[in-house]
Amino acid sequence: MIRFTTDSIEMPALDERQIGRWIRAVAADYGFSVGNINYIFCSDERELEVNRQFLGHDYYTDIITFDYSTPSTLNGDIFISLDTVRSNAEMVGVSFEEELRRILIHGVLHLTGQGDKTPETKAEMTEKEERALCRFRELES
């Protein structure tokens, strides 16, 4: 089950069924089924609080993924700062919706085991995000 909730912020406009189909399709591309994925949309301040409390990091970020997956099933809690998604969208010149989709799938890719800590793994992550976004557009039409 894929759930979308908010923490003291307005829910972004999402076609939850379409996003759910897309996430399941991408998970299947990597050999996984979807168990329970909880997206929690929040503010920068809440994201910073989660980052400090659970990871010991004292900086803002767009996404924090807590992975509870098994070898075949994706499970996790994914915190997304809509403030940072919005500012990132402006910075790279894409719509908020496009950047939000990128971040949604970024969390799923983390659950499949994809990292992004080195320049090489970051480049791989970006390539996989692009493929997944193309997949979204295919499912959309």
pLDDT in tens, 23-51: 999 999 999 999 999 999 999 999 999 99
- Tell me the Cα Rg of the chain: 14
Q: How many angstroms separate the CA atoms of 123 and 133, rounded?
A: 15
pLDDT for residue 59: 85
pLDDT for residue 60: 85
> Which residues in the chain land under pLDDT 50?
none
Q: How many angstroms separate the CA atoms of 100 and 86, rounded?
A: 8
The percentage of the chain sitting over the pLDDT mark of 70, rounded to a whole number, equals 100
> pTM score, two decimals?
0.94
Residues 73/35, Cβ–Cβ less than 8 Å: yes
pLDDT for residue 55: 87
pLDDT for residue 7: 94
Q: How many residues comprise the chain?
A: 141
pLDDT for residue 8: 86
pLDDT for residue 27: 97
Q: How many angstroms separate the CA atoms of 96 and 89, rounded?
A: 5
Q: State both tokens at 1.
A: 């089950």
Question: Which region holds residue 113: left if phi is over 0, alpha if psi is between -120 and 50, else beta?
Answer: left
CATH of domain 2-140: 3.40.390.30
Sorted by where each begins, the domain ranges of the chain are 2-140
What's the mean pLDDT when you consider all of the chain? 95
Strands 33-42, 73-81: parallel, antiparallel or unpaired by DSSP? parallel
